[in-house]
Amino acid sequence: MNPSTWLLLQRTVRFGETDAAGVMHFQQLLRWCHEAYEESLERFGLEAAAIFPTPGHSPEVALPIVHCSADFRRPLVCGDPLAIALEPKRLDPGCFEVHYRFSSQEQDVATGLTRHLAIRTDGRSRCELPAGINRWLEASSLKVGIQPLT
């Protein structure tokens, strides 16, 4: 499995993601970061229900965002193609961050960052990252073809 299949994503800027001036509304960038993170996990082979709460199911470990940032370099308008490159990085056994690089037509347009902390859902105490997230982080750091564990 080639890491680019889960670390390089494509999308198009939609009209509803722009403001009255016709450019991407600033809050969209962090939404796109989280959507790219979710899609990357799914493409790697981790089901959303294993990571995120769903009706009737709550994972043992939650991964809340404890820090985020965004920098804008060029405006984006409806119809612009957008490539999102993810660079996940483990910070310690219970914390990781994802750097996002957004480009359009081979120009850097924005960057984003989300930092996630593993906590037990039953008591909100810090804990180690779930095994699936650890595999995703490890495979992402290798930058070579691998087979995810299922």
HSE-CB of 29 using CA atoms within 13 angstroms: 25
Cα separation, 136 vs 32, in Å, equals: 19
Residue pair 68/114 in contact by the 8 Å Cβ criterion = yes
Residues with catalytic roles: 19
C-alpha distances out from residue 117 to 41, 59, 90, 98, 103, Å: 16, 14, 10, 12, 27
Closest CA to 118 of 138, 100, 136, 95: 95
Cα separation, 46 vs 129, in Å, equals: 14
Closest CA to 113 of 57, 36, 8, 20: 36
